[in-house]
Amino acid sequence: MTATLFIDADACPVKDEAYKVAARHGFKTFVVSNSWIRVPQTPVIEQIVVDAGPDVADDWIAERVGPGDVVVTNDIPLADRVLKAGGAAVAPNGRVFSHDMIGSALASRSIGEHLRSMGEVTKGPAAFANADRSRFLQALDQLVVKAKRVVAK
């Protein structure tokens, strides 16, 4: 059994960093998106283009993720599904999703959606910065090392 890295690739600013970490640790990597994007030509990276539509890429990932797998995503509901399947999830800014915080993250997301549906203007996410990239690299490396231990058992 080997661990796998899944990248929810639409609008993911850290794909290149994820490729490097995955290659260093020997992880098979699936780059999942709604349209074609350039990926390195290597046998361990596979591009998956799914149909356009809400949650199609998320569903593809969630149906395949399992214990020891790692998912890079900004999508909180997908992160919840990953955790429930025994995988690990990290956002491009280095935020590691955990069972302890996913409930409040889902609730905050729901409140934001409700406010926007009522016409409220809410602030979006902070701009992506170099510090986020650094936190992401550190968090992904830690999750990958931990995942390798899970699949080795």
Say what the pTM is: 0.87
Predicted confidence (pLDDT) at residue 27 exceeds the cutoff of 70: yes
Q: Which two tokens stand for residue 99?
A: 């069972």
Helix (H, G, I), strand (E, B) or coil at 138: helix
Domains recognised in the chain with CATH numbers: 4-152 (3.40.50)
Q: Which residue stretches of the chain are H helix?
A: 15-25, 56-62, 76-84, 99-117, 130-152
Rounded CA gap, 129 and 96, in Å? 17
Its sign, for the CA torsion 69, 71, 75, 76, is: positive
Predicted confidence (pLDDT) at residue 127 exceeds the cutoff of 80: yes
**Mean pLDDT confidence for 71-93:** 95
So what's the pLDDT on residue 110? 64
> Predicted confidence band at 149 (pLDDT cuts at 50, 70, 90)?
confident
The amino acid sitting at 52 is: A
> Predicted confidence band at 2 (pLDDT cuts at 50, 70, 90)?
confident
